[in-house]
Amino acid sequence: MNSATVTMDQKKIEGSLRGYMILLFLVVLSWSIFKILTPHNFGTLNNMLSYFQASLIASVGAVGFYFVMVMGMFDFSIGANIMLSAIVGCVFATKLGLGYIGLVLGALCCGCLVGLFNGSFYVKLRIPSMIVTTGLALIYEAVANYIAGGVEQTLPAGLRMFGQMPGDIVLAIAAFLVAYVFLNYTKIGTYTYAIGSNEFVARNMGINVNKYKVLAFILSGGFLGIMAVLTISYGSSMVAVTGMASMSRNFIPTMGCFFGVAFKKYGIPLQAIIIGEFIINIIFFGFIALGAPTAIQDVITGFALLIIITVTTKINKGEIVK
C-alpha cells in the first residue's frame, strides 16, 4: 500500500460522506426556514416523522423508476400505472375477497405487467420511450376507468395496514432493500449503469440491451405497484381519472429520481432518493403550515422540480439537448 492508494480510499469514503452531508444540510436548511417562519405548527419531531412517512410512498416508486431513468429512458405513465395498479389491487382485495394478499399481489403484478407493456412497446416499436408511454398512459387510464366502473374505489378500513405505522415503513423498507440488492448485487444493476453509460459499447460487450431495457421497465413497474398499495392505503380510495389527468402523479416520484441521478456520483443514489423525497415533503408541509392555498402547491411542485433539475444539470457547451 503506497500513500497514493490510501488517499484514494479516503476520498471514496469522503465521497459518500459528502453526499450525506449535503443531503443532511438540505434537510436541516428546509426545516429551519419553515421553523423560523411558522414556529408553532411545523416541524416537531412528531411532525417530521409523519412527513417522512408520507414521503416513503413516493420514494418506493422513485427507487424503481431510477432503473429506467439511469438507462436514459423516461416514463410518462407512472401516474396511470399507480392509478391502475391501486384499483386492480383494491378490486382483488375487496371484490375477489383476497384481502391483503390480493391487494399487494394484485397491485404488484399489475405494475409489472404495465412495465412489461411499456418496455416491450418501446423496444419493439423503436419509438422514444416518453412518446410510447404517453400513448400507453391514455390506454391505462381508460382500462383503469373500466375496471373501476367509473366509481371511486375505496379500500375498507380493515385493509389499511399499509397506510400507517408500522405497516407502511415495513413495506417501504422491504422495497428499498430489494432495490438495493438489484442495483448492487445483480447483473441487472451493472447492466443498467452500463447501458446508461454507453449503449453502443454495452451492446458490443454482448449485453442484450433490449432485454435489460424491458427488465428495467418491469422492475420500475413493480415498484410503482407497491407505491400504488401505499398510496391507496394512505389515501383510502382511488378515483380513475381520464384525459391524462393521472400525469400529475408523475411528479413526486420523478423529483426523487432526479435526486438519485444527481447523487449517483457520490455512490448513494437510493439513499439520496429517500432523503430527497423527505426534503420535498418538508417543503410541502412547510407551505401548508404557512397557509398557502392548496392550488399553489402545484406551482411549488412544478417550480421545485424545475429548480432541482436546473441545479443538478451540468451545462456542457456544445452538447445537443432536445
Residues 188-227 that bind another protein (CB under 8 A): 189-190, 193-194, 196-207
CA distance between the termini of the chain: 47
Of residues 81-120, which lie at the interface with another protein (CB under 8 A)?
none
Q: Which of 30, 53, 85, 145 binds another protein (CB under 8 A)?
A: 145
Tell me the closest approach of the beta carbon of residue 192 to another protein, in angstroms.
9
Site track for another protein across 6-25, x = CB under 8 A: --xx-xx-------------
Tell me the closest approach of the beta carbon of residue 214 to another protein, in angstroms.
14
DSSP code, position 154: E
What is the spatial distance between Cα 279 and Cα 186, in angstroms, rounded to a whole number?
30
Residue of 227, 276, 239 whose CA lies nearest to 75 = 227
How far from 277 is each of 127, 272, 322, CA to CA, in Å? 31, 8, 27
* 73 part of the interface to another protein, by CB under 8 A: yes
Q: Which of 39, 135, 156, 166 binds another protein (CB under 8 A)?
A: 135
Tell me the closest approach of the beta carbon of residue 268 to another protein, in angstroms.
13
All three cell numbers of 86: 391501486
Q: Residue 170 or 201: which CB sits closer to another protein?
A: 201
Residue of 201, 198, 195 whose CA lies nearest to 216 = 195
In single-letter form, the type of residue at position 292 comes to A
Residue of 23, 16, 14, 15 whose CA lies nearest to 256 = 23
DSSP 192-242: HHHHHH-HHHHHHTT--HHHHHHHHHHHHHHHHHHHHHHHHHHHSEE----
Q: Which of 130, 151, 165, 170 binds another protein (CB under 8 A)?
A: 130
* 5 part of the interface to another protein, by CB under 8 A: yes
Stretches 100-108, 161-169, 217-225, 247-255: which one binds another protein (CB under 8 A)?
Answer: 247-255
Tell me the closest approach of the beta carbon of residue 85 to another protein, in angstroms.
17
What is the spatial distance between Cα 235 and Cα 115, in angstroms, rounded to a whole number?
24
Alpha helices in the chain (DSSP H): 3-37, 45-70, 78-94, 99-125, 129-148, 167-185, 187-197, 199-204, 209-235, 251-262, 269-289, 294-312
Q: Give the binding-site size for another protein (rule: CB under 8 A).
A: 89
Q: Residue 219 or 229: which CB sits closer to another protein?
A: 219
Stretches 57-65, 228-236, 260-268, 276-284: which one binds another protein (CB under 8 A)?
Answer: 260-268
* 40 part of the interface to another protein, by CB under 8 A: no
Of residues 152-181, which lie at the interface with another protein (CB under 8 A)?
181
* 142 part of the interface to another protein, by CB under 8 A: yes
* 316 part of the interface to another protein, by CB under 8 A: yes
Tell me the closest approach of the beta carbon of residue 84 to another protein, in angstroms.
12
Backbone angles phi, psi at 42, to 5 degrees: -150, 145
Q: Residue 48 or 244: which CB sits closer to another protein?
A: 244
Of residues 284-313, which lie at the interface with another protein (CB under 8 A)?
293, 295-303, 305-306, 309-310, 313
All three cell numbers of 32: 429551519
